[in-house]
Structure 1
């Protein structure tokens, strides 16, 4: 039997919705409704590029120099973005995950972060992918399975699909008041600014055009259920939506300009994040998990 770069493929369906979750990285490889892609897919015969659909654990985004301090001790993790001198997106992107439940419309993927150099903690993670009448719902639960507290943050890296075109012809609505600015060389946080009067103000639906975006946004407006929404309209008027619950105060938006040429601006990276970039150094939003305790976060996507 052929072994795919993304490992075992776990397919789920609900009505005319279909999704495929993969063994390597434990992420969403594809999600569509009636043949219309909701999340930008990657080919089953290809390695996952740009972290497409992947859980980002135990921290999302960048960690400067791979260094942080926790409970009075200094730690150093491997630099997985060596050109910029950063560690990025945690430890589980290329690890095999295991399916601990697989129903027609649901699969639960699990992985263990065993103690390792720079992160000598034991963390159990489960990501529940559930197709419902309201779309795909993704619930992540992490448990400190060790005998001491550990630092934790999480995110995920889905790309909203523009359909057959490019992001340049799409409209975006992102109800965020604040952008986290970054330095050009290493893309590490340099401050915050109001989006008001800037090219990054998408609080009202408007065209993306050729604007390159790779920033985290916060101060999100929320509906009566506590959800913040990102909406992407393609040139034909179709709209894909992604929501985050209150456990995700940050959303990174990425237009994919640094991907391989044929993949650039083919999907809008819309990344729920429980903490901002470089959080393990700043301490902002980092969750302190005590032994035996768990934390749960939730996001979802759908076709409007």
Structure 2
């Protein structure tokens, strides 16, 4: 057996007291330390990524019911890698080797070509770049339709944000006016529900407590720079981390890690997932991006200290 880690080559980048590790497999974010403090609940070099930690989710984030969908007159069947719930989950590139485009002390750019196959009948050229600066980590991604037909597309990322403590005692701010429960009929578009007066209203920031989150948030409030910012803060130390998304990501999913294994990792972080579309969008069409031949989608998100 070779000495190569399960996630392939490890790309360590550094800048301004910050450090991150990006993996060849899936172009995932395995570690991130800002101002000397870990802000991700990642995984060890000798592990493969558990629970989607730090992974890139393309050409769809989240799930497709039955792994089956129709687009442009083509019916496709994605491998059902969540068989207990009858879903395909988290895209098709997270276990592939990505190709190095560039690698410096401060940043790394990786690329992947998704070829036509039974689960996806189109061709995409994907690129993800991680850049560290004194301001934190910026993740810039793009997808280009290199085929000859319009292609369906969605993008997401799966970092587990944490401050080394049980999330119950941390304060969470999510600038979202609504959440979108998954309809019983996965072919239906989800109907946004106002968070006002509910346990899912985190717009002013409050303790997570015993709230269980596996929630798609939308109607994000943005600053003048177009960014929506999720804050996670330790009220005892006043230290915190911010995850921001640009306007290419209209949704943020927050998962309180209640079902991860081993049990001691449960509720030790929050998966805060930038997403272009809600779950099952390849079936419902909700906010599904259609890329014409030659078109490119771009999106950016990042991490910074609070």
TM-score, normalization: structure 1? 0.95
2:290 corresponding residue in structure 1: 288
1:211-250 deviation line (CA, Å, top 9, x unaligned) = 1100110000000001000000124221100000001000
CA distance in 2, matches of 1:276, 1:24: 25
How many pairs are equivalent? 302
CA distance in 1, matches of 2:68, 2:163: 37
Structure 1 residue 51 displacement after superposition: 0.8
Q: Do the aligned partners of 1:181 and 1:189 also contact (CA within 8 Å) in 2?
A: no
Q: Which runs of 5+ in 2 are unaligned?
A: none
Structure 1 residue 262 displacement after superposition: 2.0
Match of 1:268 among 262, 270, 274: 270
2:209 corresponding residue in structure 1: 209
Q: Which runs of 5+ in 1 are unaligned?
A: none
Structure 1 residue 191 displacement after superposition: 3.6
1:81 corresponding residue in structure 2: 82
CA distance in 2, matches of 1:199, 1:16: 37
Structure 1 stretches of 4+ with a deviation exceeding 4 A read: none
Structure 2 matches for 1:89-108, cutoff 5 A?
Answer: 89-108=90-109
2:194 corresponding residue in structure 1: 194
1:71-120 deviation line (CA, Å, top 9, x unaligned) = 13322211111111011111011111121100110000111111110211
Q: Do the aligned partners of 1:12 and 1:105 also contact (CA within 8 Å) in 2?
A: yes
1:279 corresponding residue in structure 2: 281
1:297 corresponding residue in structure 2: 299
CA distance in 2, matches of 1:87, 1:16: 39
TM-score, normalization: structure 2? 0.95
CA distance in 1, matches of 2:242, 2:41: 13
1:9 corresponding residue in structure 2: 10
Q: Do the aligned partners of 1:180 and 1:189 also contact (CA within 8 Å) in 2?
A: no
1:30 corresponding residue in structure 2: 31
SS for the counterpart of 1:162 is: coil
